[in-house]
């Protein structure tokens, strides 16, 4: 009976073990089932969201073609990859990159390092002003190298606009003066008012430059005469104030933006458009044009004046330092409005003229030769408040011209590492 009891006990124990194992198996199966269900649900939901998003994108594109853009593209609409990218501390990384590349390299490393960089990014070493690579103490100096005089002949002709820098043309065209939109890529635009800022910017910090070139008054008068630029404060510049009254669309079919729309848009960009001689003396049927030039890492990174003009206002927008490589321009809406930039506004013989260097990842230090105190993306940078526009005027540079005269081909500044 004892043996029987022991056998029964063993068999009951086995039964319990089997039951436990079965229970564990069924538990595992339940967990697996839950994972399968959850994964399937996620895939289905994700697919639905993706399809609906694609539909809305197509709708946007259709609306864009019809010229009735009602939805504004948001930065994180593209995909999670861009969202993750946008959360990176790119400004700090760029500053660190600049500091690291400002360290003096051992002389024996320099030729090897710079030749490797040149091989990777297509630098033309033959046109360097100083061809001895050992003279460049670090990559920052090499990056901001000078080129031999005469290697960049400037296209002559007073009605010719020359390229301000080396690079690749990313976009050229006409700005829609009605909406004030510039095309970033086909179907994707950004606002010129956000890009260049307006005098009514809610967070505008204003200052005046300390430049004083009054000793060159005669030269400035000649500059104004040759380029048909109105003198600041002269009676000629005082034009009657315009009142804009909306009388609706009077045209049946409008092919070209009217002059008044241009004037309206430009007067929003700068309060001084009329009073400070921004408008040209001889009225033309004008349009607003734009050109975007991308500087690759191997390009000569100085920028020069594309025409004879007078720079009157500088607006600094501290911002992000996203990459401005063509891929990002195609996929990152409002890229130029988000990035750190310096909008230089002024006038030339045909009216409004502006040139805006836009910073990028690792190349956030924008330098202006005629404004030595100005720095960007630096620890000494006083312009740190985000979403703030820091405006300075160059009236003191020339009382005659009301700004800084810039001759075509003259070096204006450049982009440095950091």
Partner 1 sequence: STVVLCFEAPTEFKFDVRVGDKVKMGQKLGIIGKNDLK
Site string for partner 1, 299-338 (x = CB under 8 A): -xxxxx-xx----------------x-----------x--
In the complex, the smallest distance separating the C-beta of residue 278 from partner 1, rounded to whole angstroms, is 9
Q: Which residues contact 285 (CB under 8 A, 6 or more apart)?
A: 256, 259
In the complex, the smallest distance separating the C-beta of residue 57 from partner 1, rounded to whole angstroms, is 22
Contact with partner 1 (CB under 8 A): which of 355, 368, 375, 389? 355
In the complex, the smallest distance separating the C-beta of residue 392 from partner 1, rounded to whole angstroms, is 19
CB of 143 within 8 A of CB of 301? Answer: yes
In the complex, the smallest distance separating the C-beta of residue 111 from partner 1, rounded to whole angstroms, is 25
In the complex, the smallest distance separating the C-beta of residue 362 from partner 1, rounded to whole angstroms, is 9
Q: Which of 347, 393, 389, 349 is nearest to 370 (CA)?
A: 393
Q: Which of 171, 197, 167 is nearest to 330 (CA)?
A: 171
Q: How far apart are CA 370 and CA 344, in angstroms?
A: 12
* Residue 208 phi, psi (nearest 5): -115, 150
- The residue among 152 and 221 lying less far from partner 1, judged by its C-beta, is 152
Give Cα separations from 126 to 132, 147, 151, 179, 298 (angstroms). 11, 9, 10, 46, 13
Give Cα separations from 322 to 288, 328, 366, 388 (angstroms). 27, 8, 15, 18
- The residue among 156 and 215 lying less far from partner 1, judged by its C-beta, is 156
Q: Which two tokens stand for residue 143?
A: 């990056």
- The residue among 84 and 172 lying less far from partner 1, judged by its C-beta, is 172
In this chain, which stretch among 30-38, 164-172, 212-220, 378-386 interacts with partner 1, using CB under 8 A? 164-172
Q: How far apart are CA 194 and CA 339, in angstroms?
A: 11
In this chain, which stretch among 12-20, 46-54, 199-207, 351-359 interacts with partner 1, using CB under 8 A? 351-359
Contact with partner 1 (CB under 8 A): which of 144, 216, 280, 396? 280
* 139 lines the binding site for partner 1 (CB under 8 A): no
* 295 lines the binding site for partner 1 (CB under 8 A): yes
* 294 lines the binding site for partner 1 (CB under 8 A): yes
The footprint of partner 1 on residues 247-266 (CB under 8 A) is: 256, 262, 266
CB of 307 within 8 A of CB of 346? Answer: no
Phi and psi based region of residue 413 (left: phi greater than 0; alpha: psi -120 to 50; beta: remaining):
left
Q: How far apart are CA 319 and CA 237, in angstroms?
A: 35
- The residue among 118 and 134 lying less far from partner 1, judged by its C-beta, is 118
Place of tokens 């606009």: 161
Q: How far apart are CA 128 and CA 132, in angstroms?
A: 9
* 175 lines the binding site for partner 1 (CB under 8 A): yes
* 290 lines the binding site for partner 1 (CB under 8 A): yes
In the complex, the smallest distance separating the C-beta of residue 363 from partner 1, rounded to whole angstroms, is 5
In the complex, the smallest distance separating the C-beta of residue 366 from partner 1, rounded to whole angstroms, is 8
* 357 lines the binding site for partner 1 (CB under 8 A): yes
In the complex, the smallest distance separating the C-beta of residue 188 from partner 1, rounded to whole angstroms, is 14
In the complex, the smallest distance separating the C-beta of residue 34 from partner 1, rounded to whole angstroms, is 50
Q: How far apart are CA 370 and CA 406, in angstroms?
A: 10
Q: How far apart are CA 332 and CA 358, in angstroms?
A: 15
Q: Which residues contact 213 (CB under 8 A, 6 or more apart)?
A: 220, 397, 398, 404
- The residue among 213 and 365 lying less far from partner 1, judged by its C-beta, is 365
In the complex, the smallest distance separating the C-beta of residue 154 from partner 1, rounded to whole angstroms, is 4
Count of residues in contact with partner 1, rule CB under 8 A: 65
Q: How far apart are CA 297 and CA 360, in angstroms?
A: 11
How many Cα atoms sit within 13 Å of 256 on the Cβ side? 8
The footprint of partner 1 on residues 188-207 (CB under 8 A) is: 192, 195-196
* 126 lines the binding site for partner 1 (CB under 8 A): no
* 98 lines the binding site for partner 1 (CB under 8 A): no
Q: Which residues contact 59 (CB under 8 A, 6 or more apart)?
A: none
Q: Which two tokens stand for residue 142?
A: 């090499």
Contact with partner 1 (CB under 8 A): which of 49, 92, 103, 169? 169
* 166 lines the binding site for partner 1 (CB under 8 A): yes
Contact with partner 1 (CB under 8 A): which of 187, 233, 298, 409? 409
Binding site for partner 1 (CB under 8 A): 152-155, 157, 159-172, 175, 182, 192, 195-196, 256, 262, 266, 280, 282, 284-295, 300-304, 306-307, 324, 336, 348, 350-360, 363, 409, 415
């Amino acid at each position: 009976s004892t043996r029987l009891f022991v056998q029964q006990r063993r068999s009951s124990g086995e039964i319990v073990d089997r039951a436990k194992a079965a229970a564990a198996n069924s538990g595992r199966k339940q967990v697996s089932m839950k994972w399968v269900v959850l994964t399937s649900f996620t895939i289905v939901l994700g697919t639905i969201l993706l399809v609906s998003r694609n539909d809305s994108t197509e709708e946007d594109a259709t609306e864009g073609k019809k010229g009735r853009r009602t939805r504004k593209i948001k930065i994180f609409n593209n995909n999670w990859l861009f969202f993750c990218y946008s959360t990176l501390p790119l400004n700090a990384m760029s500053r660190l990159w600049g500091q690291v590349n400002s360290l003096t390299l051992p002389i024996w490393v320099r030729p090897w390092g710079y030749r490797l960089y040149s091989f990777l990014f297509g630098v033309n070493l033959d046109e360097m002003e100083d061809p001895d690579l050992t003279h460049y103490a670090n990559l920052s100096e090499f990056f901001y190298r000078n080129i031999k005089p005469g290697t960049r002949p400037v296209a002559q002709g007073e009605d010719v606009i020359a390229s301000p820098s080396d690079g690749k043309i990313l976009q050229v065209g006409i700005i829609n003066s009605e909406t004030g939109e510039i095309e970033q890529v086909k179907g994707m635009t950004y606002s010129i008012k956000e890009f260049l800022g307006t005098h009514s910017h809610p967070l505008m910090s204003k200052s005046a430059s300390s430049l004083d070139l009054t000793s060159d008054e005669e030269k400035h008068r000649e500059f104004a005469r040759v380029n048909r630029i109105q003198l600041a404060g002269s009676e000629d510049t005082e034009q009657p104030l315009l009142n804009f009254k909306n009388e609706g669309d009077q045209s049946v079919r409008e092919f070209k933006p009217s002059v008044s729309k241009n004037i309206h848009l430009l007067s929003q960009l700068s309060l001084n458009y009329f009073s400070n001689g921004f408008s040209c003396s001889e009225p033309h049927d004008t349009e607003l044009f734009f050109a975007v030039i991308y500087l690759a890492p191997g390009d000569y990174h100085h920028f020069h004046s594309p025409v004879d003009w007078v720079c009157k206002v500088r607006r600094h927008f501290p911002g992000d330092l996203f990459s401005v490589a063509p891929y990002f321009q195609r996929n990152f809406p409002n890229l130029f409005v988000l990035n750190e930039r310096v909008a230089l506004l002024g006038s030339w013989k045909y009216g409004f003229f502006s040139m805006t260097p836009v910073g990028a990842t690792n190349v956030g230090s924008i330098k202006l030769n005629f404004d030595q105190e100005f720095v960007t993306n630096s620890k000494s940078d006083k312009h740190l408040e985000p979403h703030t526009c820091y405006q300075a005027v160059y009236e003191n540079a020339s009382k005659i011209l009301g700004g800084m005269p810039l001759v075509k081909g003259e070096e204006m500044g450049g982009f440095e590492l950091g």
